């Protein structure tokens, strides 16, 4: 059976604090919708959630339900590059443990409202090289959701070809998660047709 590993990496820096309650509400609805969609296909959907800021980029890395996010109080600065590479490493290790890397499609989504301003381990070049290498493998799909960000500006920094950037207003979180629902639906359809 085909497997899709869906990893959502969420910015929990201080600038997200005003929107955190709404984000958690939308995320829970998204999670339920994703599970309903999975039932329509002969597919195994694995879900991972990463939450990041400067203080702790490993918060609640894998959870069965995003409800745990209610307990998080967004704070600190945006360690975006560290979080991206750390979470990619985490997903790769999970796939190795499950020995399912070959027949798995990985959908890796980053949701942030801030530019990088706090990473200590990695820089833009590290992120670019890592993502481009994984894109060449053919089974990784990256989506970047920027809340109130100019995604073209981010693309100028990261310079990653075929990287899916999407812009939305923080006040329109519902629309952003509806778009995520569509992305997951299309990925499931595409994966089942490739079987």
Alpha helices (H) in the chain, listed in sequence order: 20-38, 80-98, 124-137, 151-158, 173-193
What pLDDT is stored for residue 62 in this prediction?
53
pLDDT mean over 81-91: 93
SS3 call for 44: strand
Distance, in Å, from the CA atom of 51 to the CA atom of 13, rounded to the nearest integer, reads 9
Distance, in Å, from the CA atom of 134 to the CA atom of 23, rounded to the nearest integer, reads 28
**Higher local confidence (pLDDT), 25 or 190:** 25
What pLDDT is stored for residue 58 in this prediction?
57
For the stretch 21-41, pLDDT in tens is 999 889 888 888 887 777 777
76 contacts 109 by C-beta, under 8 angstroms: no
Q: Which helix (H) or strand (E) holds 130?
A: helix 124-137
Distance, in Å, from the CA atom of 188 to the CA atom of 186, rounded to the nearest integer, reads 5
Topology of the domain comprising 2-193: Rossmann fold (3.40.50)
Mean pLDDT of the chain, nearest integer:
83
- Range scoring the smallest mean pLDDT among 48-52, 170-174, 191-195: 191-195
80 contacts 123 by C-beta, under 8 angstroms: no
Q: Look at residue 151 and tell me whether its pLDDT is greater than 80.
A: no
pLDDT mean over 131-149: 88
Q: How far is CA 164 from the centre of its chain?
A: 12
67 contacts 28 by C-beta, under 8 angstroms: yes
Distance, in Å, from the CA atom of 25 to the CA atom of 8, rounded to the nearest integer, reads 15
pLDDT mean over 154-178: 81
């Amino acid at each position: 059976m085909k497997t899709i590993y869906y990893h959502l990496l969420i910015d929990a820096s201080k600038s997200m604090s005003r929107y955190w309650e709404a984000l958690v509400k939308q995320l829970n609805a998204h999670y339920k919708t994703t599970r309903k969609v999975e039932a329509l296909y002969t597919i195994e959907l694995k879900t991972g959630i990463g939450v990041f800021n400067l203080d702790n980029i490993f918060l609640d890395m894998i959870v069965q339900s995003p409800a745990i996010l209610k307990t998080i109080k967004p704070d600190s600065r945006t360690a975006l590059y560290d979080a991206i590479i750390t979470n990619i490493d985490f997903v790769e290790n999970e796939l190795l443990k499950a020995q399912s890397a070959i027949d798995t499609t990985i959908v890796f989504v980053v949701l942030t409202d801030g530019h990088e301003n706090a990473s200590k381990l990695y820089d833009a070049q590290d992120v670019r090289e890592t993502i481009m290498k994984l894109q060449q493998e053919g089974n990784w799909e990256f989506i970047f959701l920027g809340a109130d960000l100019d995604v073209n500006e981010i693309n100028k920094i990261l310079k990653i070809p075929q990287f899916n950037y999407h812009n939305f207003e923080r006040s329109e979180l519902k629309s952003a998660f509806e778009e995520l629902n569509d992305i997951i639906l299309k990925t499931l359809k595409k994966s089942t047709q490739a079987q």
